[in-house]
Amino acid sequence: MDSTKKLTFYKYQGTGNDFVLIDNRMGIFPKENTQLVNSLCDRRFGIGADGLILLEDDDQLDFNMVYYNADGNQSSMCGNGGRCIVAFAKKLDIITDKAVFNAVDGVHHASVQDNQVTLEMIDVDTIRQTDKFQYLNTGSPHHVQLVTDIEDLDVDKEGAKIRYGMYGEEGSNINFVRKLEEDTFKVRTYERGVEGETLSCGTGVTAVALAMHNAKLANGSSIGIATSGGELNVSFDYTDGRYSKIQLTGPAIFVFKGEIAW
């Protein structure tokens, strides 16, 4: 008799930032098994993803989001993952067009229309600015640095150098940015936990938009960000040094559903 367990999963992507989504409302997933998470995210021996997300019941809200980096460790907030789990919740008929859910950085509100998901991010009132970079937390820590050679930049090499050299073992995500036109920027991101470049990073895109506005390189309150995986928009209110009502908008696409032995 075959005793192999089968795990049902869903694959989603948001501007190329891809995730394994699991309905864990019955509590079946072994949440402390970092090796399992890592193997499921492996692109050669598993499903392949930048991260894994569990959708769980919440006593008061629509659902709870538990996010793991591809290395298997639970991590800080993931913006694109947050948008994808909203689309997932709609597919499971947990929500219709609006959601309120809990994540590691607190409560998030979101809305979904067709394949577009808008996610409200946490408020930001502290941005560290130097001559070479800015540093802020948009649910995850982000280093934002302007570069001129963004297309040819070795993001894995240069990102790792800053991630470990400046921020130590705990690290930070590293964003390299070039201005394209008024209120529009190109970004490439090195993500900690993935330990390499991803096609898009939601909290990184949010950090870039706020940092560019803070540096007066963007004038508007709606900023377009081009990533290697597609385009996202960040809008916000700004009053007395505080960014609030921060909205991250972009596509969240269902790719496929499957089963895998575990």
Q: Which of the residues are catalytic? A: 78, 201
- Alpha-carbon separation of residue 104 from 42, 53, 78, 84, 257 (angstroms): 24, 12, 9, 16, 26
Give me the count of residues in the chain.
Answer: 262
- 132 burial class (0-12, 13-18, 19+ CB within 10 angstroms)? exposed
Residue 114 CB contacts under 8 Å (≥ 6 apart), including other chains? none
- CA distance between the termini of the chain: 16
Helices (runs of H) and strands (runs of E) counted in the chain: 4, 17
* C-beta of residue 82 within 8 angstroms of C-beta of residue 103: yes
Pair of tokens at residue 252 = 């969240």
Place of tokens 């909290």: 203
Three-state secondary structure along 97-152?
A: CEEEEEECCEEEEEEEECCEEEEECCCECCCEECCCCEEEECCCEEEEEECCCCCC
In whole angstroms, how large is the CA radius of gyration of the chain? 18
